[in-house]
Structure 1
Amino acid sequence: MKEIVIGSDAAARRGGTPPPPPPQALLERLKDYGQEDAFALWDELTPDERDLLVKDIESLDLPRIDRIIRCSLGSQGLPLPAVEPVPESSVSTVEQRTSEERERWWKRGLKAVSEGKLAVVLLSGGQGTRLGSSDPKGCFNIGLPSGKSLFQLQAERILCVQKLAAQSTDGSAGIVPIHWYIMTSPFTDEPTRKFFESHKYFGLEPDQVTFFKQGTLPCVSSDGRFIMETPYKVAKAPDGNGGVYSALKSSRLLEDMAMRGVKYVDCYGVDNALVRVADPTFLGYFIDKGVAAAAKVVRKAYPQEKVGVFVQRGRGGPLTVVEYSEMEQSMASEINQITGRLRFCWSNVCLHMFTLDFLNQVASGLEKDSIYHLAEKKIPSIHGYTAGLKLEQFIFDAFAYSPSTALFEVLREEEFAPVKNANGATYDTPDSARLMLLRLHSRWVVAAGGFITHSVPLYLTGVEISPLCSYTGENLEAICRGRTFHAPSEITF
């Protein structure tokens, strides 16, 4: 173990006064957890830098961080539990649903919204780095005719559901706001808040939007030692989108939800241009099933597709997600001999529904177990970029704690248009997401009796329907029937 020398001979030889020693109590605490190297360059720091280092170390919950590091490193290399395909009884497939069920779920979901029982949680901690932008991903404009950002599309879908819920009760109760909890990161918090303020919350009431930050954890070497970003700052990284659970708990927002009468929580990622925020059908299905957790899923397109899939941990065990990198190729390619489809086919697309009671349980369970995923990354450090580990939890880690989970199949072309890579990549680009949205909305126009003209091939363009007009293609006849729209364009009131 490295000894921290207090007061250097070098300083004395230079004729200077030896620097004051590090705070003894803090140094002893670091020694207790094997992290005293954080003070290794103490003698070389200026007084201001020493103050910054002390404040940085004092801000860390050392017992918690030590537990997380030990548990996470200790779980490395352990064999994965045996997994089975998801039982058919756990999945509502598109082909099985009747129109009566869909209508019943839609009405039941709208009723719950009108009673203030639904809250929405948005995972929005990421920057658009891979998109060529330093702004939060939600600020990104994918090139729609309207020029709307992802944030605006999602806000307007919330406004639409609120209106539909009020209409479902004959408007007697008025519009009941859906509270929107938006998780940012230390890098996106301020610009996200400013973006909402400058756009007047996209028509939402400011007091129905709550921002909260996900946590960070120190980056560590393979033996669990802190990596120093500078001589006076520990390198840290966000704790993954699964950090939403501890962030909701530590921010007392789970209590805030309970105080508002919330029973159900819709949770999703920001980078899906087709996400149906606060989907009444999904909510009604969730309530109908009486489960603790549910997820929308799409069928895996091909064995090598880089998506996590839902599995059952052992026969009769909980449903959970296995990342594509953790699944052997032979298993990923297995075919169900009866259906001719992949045995492990239900892709997780980060569209989840939880009861508030379950969120309280999972926040406590994840904190108690303290096992995080280890991501090998190049970490900026005092030695340049160095190999290290980021500690992350994933949103789907919650499912391992659920006593009952249901999966709800949706069609990729209707509800999943991810925006992850810059244009020019082969998939999940702004261009691909924009085309998916325009094609979907063009189908809505035709179904409502409208016509579309276009100067370029229609498969390269289409029309955009404002979410303020329609949520899933409903109520468009009065706007579209007998009318012709030129693509590309936006259809609004």
Structure 2
Amino acid sequence: MAELVVAAAAPAPAGRWGAAPPQELLERLKDYGQEGAFALWDELAPEERDFLVRDIQSIDLARIDRIVRCSLRSQGGPVPVVQPVPESSVATVDDRSPEDKERWWRRGLKAIAEGKLAVVLLAGGQGTRLGSSDPKGCFSIGLPSGKSLFQLQAERILCVQKLAAQSTDAPGNTPQIHWYIMTSPFTDETTRKFFESRRYFGLEPDQVTFFQQGTLPCVSPDGRFIMETPYKVARAPDGNGGVYAALKSKRLLDDMSARGVKYIDCYGVDNVLVRVADPTFLGYFIDKGVSAAAKVVRKAYPQEKVGVFVQRGRGGPLSVVEYSEMDASMTTEINQTTGRLRYCWSNVCLHMFSLEFLNQVTNSLEKDSVYHLADKKIPSIHGYTAGLKLEQFIFDVFTYSPSTALFEVMREEEFAPVKNANGATYDTPDSARLMLLRLHSRWVVAAGGFLTHSVPLYMTGVEVSPMCSYAGENLEAICRGRTFHAPSEISL
């Protein structure tokens, strides 16, 4: 397979380079201690030498050297002192009044109608753990409609656009929510073709922008490039936090500004219940006047493997601590006043940012150049080699935010991840499908409908098309007095 790739990617004439590597490039590699990339030059065929030279030339050596040095230096440093998130930073479900929710909903719809919201989707992952090599967004969890994750999310955008149009004095003018979809080198082409073949699920093609996240060389524990083949540096995607560098380098933040965007909704593709472009969350964000916000759910149990929000130091910024970084006492510590876990606010990758903040933070992230180091077995010329992948995480930006607010949501209403194949104990297509069907069944009953079923209701339910309702609203005309047999889809 590697030989085929080399042949397809080598338009340069064979034999361009002679017995020695290009001297200037070799000297640059020596400056950064990476001359080992040319160690097997004498054994390479002419076209392989061409491929290797182009591969090295495509690497910003100064930037990668800075990232590797800063990341290795930060590893093993002192663990920051953290405190529980102050209650004043969290809008809990119990504290919200119907008047609050209505005000935020209307304020969010107004901003959407004015074109101030864009949506960024993190869709670079493959469904490997689900038994599929396709992008996760192409995956169907077995709903009655057979819809993929991408289709469910596209239709929620369509529904919000319609609601925003209806909320204005000119309901015939439907606003567009621009959808920026981050892919990876492994998912980009398939994702684009999936959207094209399905006519963008009813969205206008020009309101969807695909862009790829970056990749970074994999390095040995002492920072040397690992060679995947004698003529190719091993690389890996730069993590879901690579979205910030990609938005900046591809001038998509400028594109947002030119479109009049002020706020960005950012989320991961594998949440079946995600409320894309949620007007209530947007209205809350605007009302609080913060730079960043996140939806959170309470930890289900102390050992749940989720990152949680904390406060760095006393009075410091909010940030996320991964579950692997929490010791047993921190995981189980109880708030004696409330009886709940002190560190209970789980990060579920549902974020809102101001465009102004993203412009600032992308510069700060690049300047600091500190990435997470993941110990991995890297495919190399020596077989699988112990090495490091360099990644940024989507939540890294919260440390830089001058003001962050957390917005509690109910897990059963907004968080049903699809991460593992059926048969696993949690986060499977089956578990996510049941959560959606149960939620929509509650919507139907609340709207005056009735359900019949041939299997126990706790194992099934009905699916409400996003084209009918975004969050359970406007269903009375469809459901009142009618009986629906589960499992089935209710659609227009």
> Is TM-score (shorter-chain normalized) higher than 0.5?
yes
1:440 offset after TM fit, Å?
0.1
Deviations 1:111-147 (A, max 9, x none): 0000000000000000000000000000000000000
> Using the alignment, how far apart are the partners of 1:341 and 1:109 within structure 2?
32
Deviations 1:11-65 (A, max 9, x none): xxxxxxx952100000000000000000000000000000000000000000000
The corresponding residue for 1:277 is 276
The corresponding residue for 2:75 is 76
The corresponding residue for 1:129 is 128
> Any idea what SS the aligned residue of 1:389 has?
strand
1:172 offset after TM fit, Å?
4.2
Deviations 1:419-448 (A, max 9, x none): 000000000000000000000000000000
What are the ranges of 5 or more consecutive residues in structure 2 without an aligned counterpart? 1-16
The corresponding residue for 1:183 is 182
The corresponding residue for 2:358 is 359
> Using the alignment, how far apart are the partners of 2:106 and 2:248 within structure 1?
31
8 Å Cα contact 1:52/1:232 also seen in 2:
yes
What are the ranges of 5 or more consecutive residues in structure 1 without an aligned counterpart? 1-17
What one-letter code is carried by the residue in structure 2 that aligns with 1:325? S
> Using the alignment, how far apart are the partners of 1:19 and 1:32 within structure 2?
22
> Using the alignment, how far apart are the partners of 2:293 and 2:446 within structure 1?
30
1:259 offset after TM fit, Å?
0.2
> Using the alignment, how far apart are the partners of 2:269 and 2:255 within structure 1?
22
> Any idea what SS the aligned residue of 2:210 has?
strand
Deviations 1:199-228 (A, max 9, x none): 000000000000000000000000000000
What one-letter code is carried by the residue in structure 2 that aligns with 1:123? L
> Using the alignment, how far apart are the partners of 2:361 and 2:454 within structure 1?
53
1:170 offset after TM fit, Å?
3.8
> Using the alignment, how far apart are the partners of 2:280 and 2:291 within structure 1?
17
> Any idea what SS the aligned residue of 1:159 has?
helix
The corresponding residue for 1:433 is 432
> Using the alignment, how far apart are the partners of 1:128 and 1:251 within structure 2?
26
What one-letter code is carried by the residue in structure 1 that aligns with 2:481? G
1:173 offset after TM fit, Å?
5.9
Deviations 1:279-310 (A, max 9, x none): 00000000000000000000011111000000
The corresponding residue for 1:447 is 446
8 Å Cα contact 1:166/1:173 also seen in 2:
yes
> Any idea what SS the aligned residue of 1:375 has?
strand
> Using the alignment, how far apart are the partners of 1:172 and 1:299 within structure 2?
38
Residue 51 of structure 1 pairs with residue 75 of structure 2 = no
> Any idea what SS the aligned residue of 2:373 has?
strand
> Using the alignment, how far apart are the partners of 2:66 and 2:415 within structure 1?
37
8 Å Cα contact 1:214/1:243 also seen in 2:
yes
What one-letter code is carried by the residue in structure 2 that aligns with 1:133? S
Residue 233 of structure 1 pairs with residue 232 of structure 2 = yes
> Using the alignment, how far apart are the partners of 1:258 and 1:116 within structure 2?
11
The corresponding residue for 1:98 is 97
> Using the alignment, how far apart are the partners of 2:42 and 2:33 within structure 1?
20
1:332 offset after TM fit, Å?
1.0
Q: Report 1:153-164 matches (<5 A).
A: 153-164=152-163
Deviations 1:404-430 (A, max 9, x none): 000000000000000000000000000
> Using the alignment, how far apart are the partners of 1:91 and 1:462 within structure 2?
33
> Using the alignment, how far apart are the partners of 2:291 and 2:411 within structure 1?
25
Q: Report 1:272-351 matches (<5 A).
A: 272-351=271-350
> Any idea what SS the aligned residue of 1:352 has?
strand
> Using the alignment, how far apart are the partners of 1:241 and 1:362 within structure 2?
15
> Using the alignment, how far apart are the partners of 1:438 and 1:79 within structure 2?
46
> Any idea what SS the aligned residue of 1:275 has?
coil
8 Å Cα contact 1:244/1:395 also seen in 2:
yes
Deviations 1:77-108 (A, max 9, x none): 01211000000000000000000000000000
The corresponding residue for 2:84 is 85
The corresponding residue for 2:9 is none
The corresponding residue for 2:8 is none
1:329 offset after TM fit, Å?
1.1
What one-letter code is carried by the residue in structure 2 that aligns with 1:385? Y
Deviating beyond 6 angstroms after TM superposition, the runs of 4 or more aligned structure 1 residues are none
The corresponding residue for 2:400 is 401
> Any idea what SS the aligned residue of 2:485 has?
strand
TM-score of the two chains, using structure 1 as the length reference: 0.96
8 Å Cα contact 1:19/1:43 also seen in 2:
no
Same amino acid, percent of matched pairs: 84
Deviations 1:425-474 (A, max 9, x none): 00000000000000000000000000000000001000000000000000
> Any idea what SS the aligned residue of 1:81 has?
coil
What one-letter code is carried by the residue in structure 2 that aligns with 1:154? Q
